[in-house]
Structures are given as structure tokens and as C-alpha cells.
A = this chain, B = another copy of it.
Amino acid sequence: MSSGRHSPRTATRPLEEGTPTQRAIARAARELFERSGYEGTSVREIAAAAGVDAALVIRHYGSKEELFVRVIGFDEHFAPQLDGPLELVGTRLADYVLDPTHDRMRRTLTALLYASDHQNVRTDLQATMRRLLVDRLSARMHGADTVLRAWLVSAQLLGLVHSWDAVDTDHATAAQRTHVANLYGAAIQQLITPPT
């Protein structure tokens, strides 16, 4: 509704730009959204954590939803995995999203997936995956429908991330993670370099 225009988001920029107050809000919002998800975080909590009034948060960012998509965006992930040998991209991508070392990235992605009930969030997630994965991957692929196939790879990865939490109840061992990455990676690879 509030047609607040915001420039095409680039990574975590909102946390570094604007007045100190705005940055404090953005930083608090990002941390809370990552920890507790979208529904689990209230504007009043964010305001309290940033040391300001709740109304200010809305004033500066238009709405909770806009604030979310502004601060939850993430940096240049996937790039190293996409630039390696093309036959290994499937497994490397799966391994990447499962690796606990990249917990921050997965929490971000999870937060976006779980907040998909909001259309703006879905649109933002789509734009992010295009920017970070589809554009880069499809450019390296051969054969027909490279862009479509890259989108389907994105769908596979999102499905894996969504389902991982449930499986990862009592945190999986490194060996199990590698095994899953190999299995799922082969399925992803099917779309990147289909057997002739």
C-alpha cells in the first residue's frame, strides 16, 4: 500500500547507510528477524532493541514488511560454488546450503521462505535467487532452456533448505551432511548438465 520507493536493494547496504538511528533500527531488525523469524518479531521489539520508539521504525521504513525485505537481503553467496567446475556445481551448491559454517545465510534464506505468506517477500526472494543464482548459473549452462533449468535448480535448493530444519532436529553429523549433499547434488546436477 505505502508505495515507498526504495532503490534496488544491494546486499546488506541498508545496515550501513542513513542516520545512526536508521542503522540502529536496521541492525536490530536484521538480528531479530534472523533469530525469531518474521511473525516472531514485533515492530515494538525491534524499536526497543534499537532504543527508539516503535512509530519511528514505521516512519523510516514504511511498514514491517518493507523493513523485512530491506534488511534480510544477503550478500553475494553461491558465487564461488557457481564458478567452479560445472560438473560439480550441483553437489557444491547442496553442500553449501547445508554447511553449518554458513548458518547465517541459511537462517536468512529460511526466514524468507517461512515468511512467504507475504507476497512482497515472495517477490523479493525470487529477485534474490535470480540475482545470486539464476543469472550466473544459466550463463554457464549449455543446451536448451538454460534459464528455466536454472530456475528449477533454485527451486530444488529452496526445497532442500525448507525441509532441512525438520530433518536436522538433533543436528546431523558432518558425514551425514556430506552424504545428503552428494545425493541431492546429483539430482541438481541432472538439471545443470543432463546426460546426453
Interface residues of chain A, those whose CB is within 8 Å of chain B, are 37-40, 113-118, 122-123, 126, 145, 148-149, 151-152, 154-160, 162-167, 179-180, 183-184, 186-188, 190-191, 194-195
Contact = CB atoms under 8 A, between A and B. Distances in A.
A39 B38 CA distance: 12
Q: Pick the most buried of A38, A162, A166: most chain B CB atoms within 10 A of its CB.
A: A166
Contact of A151 (B152, B167, B188): B167
Given A156-B156, A162-B159, A39 B117 contact: yes
User: Chain A contact residues: over half helix, strand or loop, or mixed?
Assistant: helix
Contacts of A38: 117
Give the number of times this chain occurs in the complex, counting copies: 2
A160 B187 CA distance: 13
Given A39-B118, A122-B165, A145-B179, 8 more contacts: A38-B117, A151-B167, A154-B163, A158-B163, A184-B191, A186-B194, A187-B187, A187-B190
Contact of A180 (B115, B126, B148): B148
B116 A152 contact: no
Given A117-B38, A190-B187, A194-B186, A162 B166 contact: no
A40 B159 CA distance: 23
A128 to B, nearest CB: 12
